[in-house]
Structures are given as structure tokens and as C-alpha cells.
Amino acid sequence: MSNAPMRGIWPWLGLAALLVAVDQVTKLLILANYQLGESTFITGFFNVVRVHNTGAAFSFLAEAGGWQRWFFTGVGVAASVFIVWMLRTHPGEKLFAFALACILGGAIGNVIDRLLYGYVVDWLDFHWELLSGLFPGGHFPAFNIADAAITVGAVSLILDEVLRWRRSR
């Protein structure tokens, strides 16, 4: 059996590890310097804030009573295992592997939070008046580097599929 798939996976695992490291360092800085709910005005559309999210995206199931911590931890671990397997089988597909590495780094970053704290530490607070019809005060739900990496990965997966579809036509 060739070691080529394993050699090809290392840059992508390195990217995922870098995203986990940046995510965790920023969260540690927030935990060390902010109390829950405390925020700092940065610009007219951005604040740094400390928020604890016991749910998933947009605080989905945040008030579910505690079982969601383990459910989302399990989903994150299962997704991570699947993503590593996918990276092993497709390391040369650069955009696809980039997308998977971003999602992997984000998933691991948020799983670490759930295991250590029982919640995910969010701290990026973007707000625009035009969002006030959708979100209270126009504040998009706070998020973190891991969430941003997952979003970049998801958009990259969609782009990869669109490009793959166009090439096949």
C-alpha cells in the first residue's frame, strides 16, 4: 500500500491545526480579559464580546437542557473522523481538501470548547442597522474563528462542486 495518500494529507492537517490554534488562542484571550456579556466597541459595525453558546449555529438548541453538549460534541467528533478519511482519499483535490481542512479545524476548535467548558466561546459581534429586521438591534449572532473557518469551508465546498459540475459539461 502506498504512503502517497498519507503524505498528501499532512498540509491539510497542518492547516486544520493552525486554525484550531488560532481559534483556541483567541478564545483564551477572551476568557482571560472579558466577563460574560462584556463587550468592547471597535467600529460602528463591530464589537468584541464574550458570549457562551451552549447550542449550535445561531444558538440552535441552546436551551435544550444540557444533552446538546454531548450531542454536538459527538457530531463534531464524527464529522472530524469522516473529514480525515475524505482527506486521505482526496488530498490532491486542492479546493476540496482546503474546504475539508477548514471545516475540520473549525469542528475541532468548537469540540474543544464543549469538552473544556460545556459551551462554545463566541466573541466576534458584527452589527448593521439593516439587519435589525432579522436580528435584535441588528446584531448578527456572535461567532468565533472556528465558526468562520467552517463557513469558509462550506462556501469552498459549494464552489468546488460548482466548478466540478462546470468542468463536466
Give bridge partners of residue 121 from the DSSP assignment: 52
Alpha-carbon gap, residue 83 to 30, rounded angstroms? 29
Active-site residue, 147 included? yes
Q: Which of 23, 113, 125, 147 is catalytic?
A: 147
- Can you give the chain as a three-state secondary structure string? CCCHHHHHHHHHHHHHHHHHHHHHHHHHHHHHHCCCCCEEEEECCEEEEEEEECCCHHHCCCCCCCHHHHHHHHHHHHHHHHHHHHHHHCCCCHHHHHHHHHHHHHHHHHHHHHHHHCCEEEEEEEECHHHCCCCHHHECCCECHHHHHHHHHHHHHHHHHHHHHHHHC
Active-site residue, 160 included? no
Q: Which of 23, 122, 125, 160 is catalytic?
A: 122
Q: Which residues are the active-site residues?
A: 122, 147
